[in-house]
Amino acid sequence: MTSSSLDNLRVAIVGAGPAGIYAGNILATSVREAGGRVAIDLFESLPAPYGLIRYGVAPDHPRIKGIVTSLHEMLDAASDVGDRRSIRFLGNVEVGRDIALEELHERYDAVILATGAIRDAALDIPGIDLPGSYGAADFVAWFDGHPDVPADWTLDAREVAVIGNGNVALDVARVLAKHPEDLRSTEIADNVLAGLEASAVTDVHVFGRRGPADIKFTPIELRELGEVPGVDIVVHDEDFAHLEGVTPATNQLKVMLRILDGWRSRASTGASRRLHLHFYHSPVEVLGADRVEAMRFERTEPTGDDGVRGTGEFREVPVQQIYRAVGYYGTPVVDAPFDDGRGVVPNAEGRVEGPAGHVRGLYATGWIKRGPVGLIGHTKSDAMETVAHLVADARDGRLDAPTLDADVVDLLDAREVAYTTWDGWLALDAHERELGDTHRHQRERVKVVPRDEQVAISRSGALIGT
């Protein structure tokens, strides 16, 4: 049986980060403008919405977290359809564990996968699995108070390496180097602050395979790095030799090179912590017997065609911890097609492709669609493309109508799944903000970290003092 109308369309979206929320908002608007009606259920494995905006952005970057305001407005202002919202949030529900993908297909005209990419890409070099070697995503999840990582993180190393030249590497390096007192006013969780206060770190080394002209930072992030109190920035003249006569490709790069060049002439202040930026260093091997003791690099040089090559010169840098920030890897959904090589759901402009071609009624958007590259703006354009195909397929009768006329909540209740709702998130949000108001350091919020506490507050609607 096919569905050939935009009337009473039912869609499930798996993932309530920016990709999923944008897709839901664009879909609701598109169907409404076409004179139809749509009911959207937004499934999220975590009790709270917003994905990497809540659990992937450093706590000292509140303006980046400002995107939460617009995402909140999209969900909070979802227009009513009959006696329910056009977009319904169902948190603490993992598709593939609490409910099967096939069970979604039975209840919805279409399913959009928006699970993002939260795992670290691999760095395949000898010794990378030694104790003391970590993925940056795990560390970011810890300092952002993710409920599914251990509450404690041992920071007993004096010298630390961060591998990568993107914004994630910079966030990791900045949090490691920053003095805890400069984070107390943020929304950082108390267990994280305690871990950072016990840190032994004195030197953070950031390594990139390419040169200064190839960095993937943004000017704002780079400039902020040089303004961290009590931290000296160290760069090396040898890394800038290849820039003579090179014209920056963009104004943004021109600004960043100017910032880096200014650091070359900056005198040491004798600060207790140092952040070293190394370019033209390709990781070769992690050294150590029972744990990380050093890292071996090969110096590289530009090839003249936007690439680099090894020079045959090797260097060993003593470090006792390593954080690899070489990219993220997509999060698959059980029973959905997945490309293990690329870490994405195979698709053609958002229509999911299986071994036999397009999978009817299944779509993808965001990082799980195109890989972990680009900014929030790209996520929105991704959603527009995917939703356009879904709406066209619905209008042209290329969707299978649901075989069950049943509310998915009844199934979750029968299975005793402790799902959370939008009203539950509002209660948790208010609870965290009140914790911030009453905290001795007066913060915007203090995150509740344990999953069971988040769920209990969300499901009871309890606030402090009630």
- Please report the pLDDT score of residue 416 as a whole number: 97
Among 349, 333, 441, 340, which Cα is nearest to 393's? 349
More reliable by pLDDT, 433 or 245: 433
Q: What is the average per-residue pLDDT within 131-135?
A: 96
The domain ranges of the chain are 2-118+330-419, 119-328
More reliable by pLDDT, 86 or 106: 106
Q: For the segment 16-54, what is each residue's pLDDT rounded down to a tens digit? A: 999 999 999 999 999 989 999 999 999 999 999 999 889
Fold of domain 2-118+330-419: Rossmann fold (3.40.50)
Check pLDDT > 80 for residue 461. Answer: no
Q: CA-to-CA distance for 14 and 90, rounded, in angstroms?
A: 10
Residue-averaged pLDDT of the chain: 90
Give how far the C-alpha of residue 379 lies from the chain's centroid of Cα atoms, to the nearest Å. Answer: 12
CB 222 within 8 A of CB 259: yes
- Please report the pLDDT score of residue 253 as a whole number: 86
- Please report the pLDDT score of residue 463 as a whole number: 45
Structure tokens at 279: 């370019």
CA angle 73–79–81, rounded 5-degree value: 150
Q: CA-to-CA distance for 48 and 16, rounded, in angstroms?
A: 9
Q: Tell me the CATH architecture of domain 119-328.
A: 3-Layer(bba) Sandwich (3.50)
- Judged by average pLDDT, the poorest of 28-42, 116-130, 303-317, 364-378 is 364-378
Q: Any residues with CB less than 8 A from the CB of 122 and at least 6 apart, and which?
A: 329
**Computed over its alpha carbons, how large is the radius of gyration of the chain?**
24
Percent of the chain with pLDDT over 90: 68
Q: What is the average per-residue pLDDT within 257-275?
A: 91
Q: For the segment 170-189, what is each residue's pLDDT rounded down to a tens digit? A: 999 999 999 999 998 888 88
Structure tokens at 253: 């790069």
Check pLDDT > 80 for residue 245. Answer: no
> Percent helix, strand and coil across the chain, each rounded to 5?
35, 25, 45
Check pLDDT > 90 for residue 75. Answer: no
Q: For the segment 380-391, what is each residue's pLDDT rounded down to a tens digit? A: 899 999 999 999
Check pLDDT > 50 for residue 354. Answer: yes
Check pLDDT > 80 for residue 246. Answer: no
Q: CB neighbours (10 Å) of residue 323? A: 26
Burial call 1-33: b when 16+ CB within 10 Å, e when fewer: eebeebeebbbbbbbbbbbbbbbbbbbbebbee
Check pLDDT > 50 for residue 235. Answer: yes
CB 278 within 8 A of CB 205: yes
Among 188, 148, 178, 180, which Cα is nearest to 59's? 188
Structure tokens at 191: 């267990």
The DSSP H or E segment spanning 8 is: none
Q: What is the DSSP letter of 98?
A: T
Name residue 4's amino acid. S
CA angle 375–379–380, rounded 5-degree value: 120
- Judged by average pLDDT, the poorest of 148-157, 294-303, 308-317, 377-386 is 377-386
- Judged by average pLDDT, the poorest of 196-210, 296-310, 411-425 is 296-310
- Please report the pLDDT score of residue 84 as a whole number: 47
